[in-house]
Amino acid sequence: MKKIFKNEKETLAFAEKFAKKLRGGEVIALIGELGAGKTVFTKGLAKGLKIKERVQSPTFLLMKIYNVKKQKIKFLCHVDAYRLRGAAGLMDIGLLDWLGRADTVTVIEWADKVTELFRGGRVIKIKMELGKKEEERKVTINK
């Protein structure tokens, strides 16, 4: 699926709707350069999951867990691999405790840096790119 968002608001609205289709256990790989909109997309997902806390960038923190109250989904695990070179770092911080859990949706920004995690897994790959105009973004989704 390919989509073009004219601005941040459209990205947020789409991500919010996308979140409503999640059932738990999904791993969402967000791929894109600085400024492509990965964290914005995650904020939209969080809104769709009715998370009340503010979603900030986890670049320094690496991983943040949010509580969710939506049917079977209990947690959103928000990961940022920007500061890492490979998956080993994510293993160290306990990501495997959350990855693929039936009650958790995991979102990994800069997932292309940690591709070893996704061999043979059920991953939703979302690629984000800057569009032609300044506020525009191109999004490609592969399930």
Partner 1 sequence: MRILGIETSCDETSAAVAESDGRSFEVRSNVVSSQIKIHAKYGGVVPEVAARKHVEAILPVVEKALGPGGAEKIDAVAVASGPGLITSLLVGNEVAKILSWFWKKPLARINHIEAHIYANWFLNKKINFPALCLVVSGGHTELILMRGHGKHEVIGETRDDAAGECFDKTAKILGLGYPGGPAIAAVAARFKIEDLRFKIELPRPMIDTKDFDFSFSGLKTAVLYAARDLSNKYKMEEIVPAMAYEVQEAIVDVLIYKTIKAAKKYNVKTVMLAGGVSANERLRERFSGVMEKELPGVDWNVPPFEYCTDNAAMVAAAGYFHAIKKDFTPWQKLKVDPNWEL
Binding site for partner 1 (CB under 8 A): 34-35, 39-40, 53-54, 56-57, 59-65, 82-85, 88-90, 92-94, 130, 134
Nearer to partner 1, 85 or 143 (CB): 85
Nearer to partner 1, 56 or 142 (CB): 56
Q: How far is the CB of 134 from partner 1 (least distance, A)?
A: 6
Nearer to partner 1, 23 or 93 (CB): 93
Place of tokens 């894109």: 32
C-beta of residue 84 within 8 angstroms of C-beta of residue 90: yes
Phi, then psi, of 104 in degrees rounded to 5: -130, 140
Across 32-122, where does the E strand assignment appear? 63-70, 73-80, 104-109
Q: How far is the CB of 82 from partner 1 (least distance, A)?
A: 8
Q: How far is the CB of 29 from partner 1 (least distance, A)?
A: 19
Nearer to partner 1, 53 or 116 (CB): 53
Q: How far is the CB of 58 from partner 1 (least distance, A)?
A: 9
Q: Which whole-number Å values give the CA distances from 46 to 68, 91, 143, in the listed order?
A: 9, 24, 19
